[in-house]
Amino acid sequence: MNYHLSFDLSQFPKEMSDARLGNYFLFFDNLSGDKTIEHSEKKHFPIKVEAMLVLSVLKGGIRLRVNLQETNLKEGQVLNIMPGCIFQIVDTTEDFKYFCMIFDQEILDHIQKSFGVHLDLIHKYYNFHKHAVPQESMTLMMSMYMQIKKELEQPDYEYKKEVVERYCEIWILKSMSNSVDASVPELSKTANRKEQIFRDFLTLLEKNYHQERSIAYYADRLCLTPKYLSTIIKEVSGKHGLQWIDEYVALEAKALLREGHLSVKQVSDSLNFPSQSMFGRFFKKMTGYTPKKYMQL
């Protein structure tokens, strides 16, 4: 299956539309010195991207959530967000400098086929992967990024997509070889059995929350009793299992409503609510807004 960018550029701050090629590539940054992420309410909207997003931090830091899991990114670090995830900017430092690449899953498939490199990133790195890059390597990666962006900004020509793909292949391979201190999300860095059960619960939840919203379902899949699973979830995360389920559903709903491609009824149907009115009550309880009002924010 080929993944393509499935978001409306209007959901991003203005500087995030610098260079793109159809539904395959989007590059953006604030390296020119006159661009900053506007401190507006708009940046807090969750965005779902059916593509791979790679954010590199040159200075300062950013705090964001990926599928409700919060992570901090600082100078010299790179964050890979996997296709299908929903991310949300929480906050940035005033001196935050970055460059970001969003590209189609097809490119990763091409690398695997062309070079025999195993890039099963979705399974290897869960939902997102953060790693540090030495300063010299980061400078080189930024130079390569600027070259690719320059190519994207050129008028269309035959084989432009293929040329950009080759550049991206080199960038990805170089990035993988230069990374140090590779780490999976903070949540998974533990041998604690209870936290592992909680992570397994989240993994199941992310795959099934559209249809399955009872603790009993997830407990059965994990071969646990609903009471024991609920106790573990509360003990590890501080929130009840049903809260996690509701928040995942609400997060997906917010992302779909902000995209603007679906009507409220279509969003309700896609999330398997019995009726639009029940979806409306759920959304109002979770966000304080009606679905239509949220779409207008």
pLDDT per residue over 249-263, tens digit each? 998 999 889 877 889
Pull the structure tokens for residue 258: 């902000």
Domains of the chain: 9-186 (2.60.120.280), 190-295 (1.10.10.60)
Distances (CA, A) of 255 to 260, 267, 275, 282, 291: 9, 10, 19, 15, 11
Q: What is the pLDDT of residue 103?
A: 77
Q: What is the pLDDT of residue 42?
A: 44
User: From CA 103, how far away is CA 52, in angstroms rounded?
Assistant: 6
Predicted TM-score of the model (pTM): 0.70
User: From CA 207, how far away is CA 9, in angstroms rounded?
Assistant: 26
pLDDT per residue over 260-288, tens digit each? 788 999 999 999 999 999 999 999 999 99
Closest C-alpha to 68, from 189, 297, 239, 208? 239
Given pLDDT bands bounded at 50, 70 and 90, which one contains residue 128? confident
- Tell me the CB-side half-sphere exposure of residue 248, using CA atoms within 13 A: 24
Closest C-alpha to 56, from 88, 3, 101, 24? 101
